[in-house]
Structure 1
């Protein structure tokens, strides 16, 4: 046993997955996911336009 064996071992590389053919169901599912993602992005943009939801709270003055 060598003194240089310490530390994490590198994991073995996984073999590449084969590219499979996409059928109509897969394409429809991907399109649906894209639409959901787009709707989520639009909702986030719309929500940030309104400004911060919380305002006020304890205001701290300068040095005392």
Structure 2
């Protein structure tokens, strides 16, 4: 008994997620969360830029 199934088996398709309906309170909370994440991202970018900007004197490999 031999089967002629070759190659990879195709993965099963996932059912599409249903669209959720949000009321005004949920929409406000989602927007607030997005704004907070955006502010944190900007602060992180500023912190990294400041830390890398003042590296000071670099030592050369030569003696």
**TM-score normalised to structure 1 length:** 0.58
Question: Which sections of structure 1, spanning at least 5 residues, go unmatched?
Answer: none
Q: Higher helix fraction: Structure 1 or Structure 2?
A: 2
Question: Which sections of structure 2, spanning at least 5 residues, go unmatched?
Answer: none
Count how many residue pairs are aligned between Structure 1 and Structure 2: 57
RMSD of aligned Cα (Å): 2.7
For residue 33 of structure 1, what is the aligned residue in structure 2?
A: 33
**TM-score normalised to structure 2 length:** 0.59
* Equivalent residue runs for 1:8-27 within 5 Å: 9-27=9-27
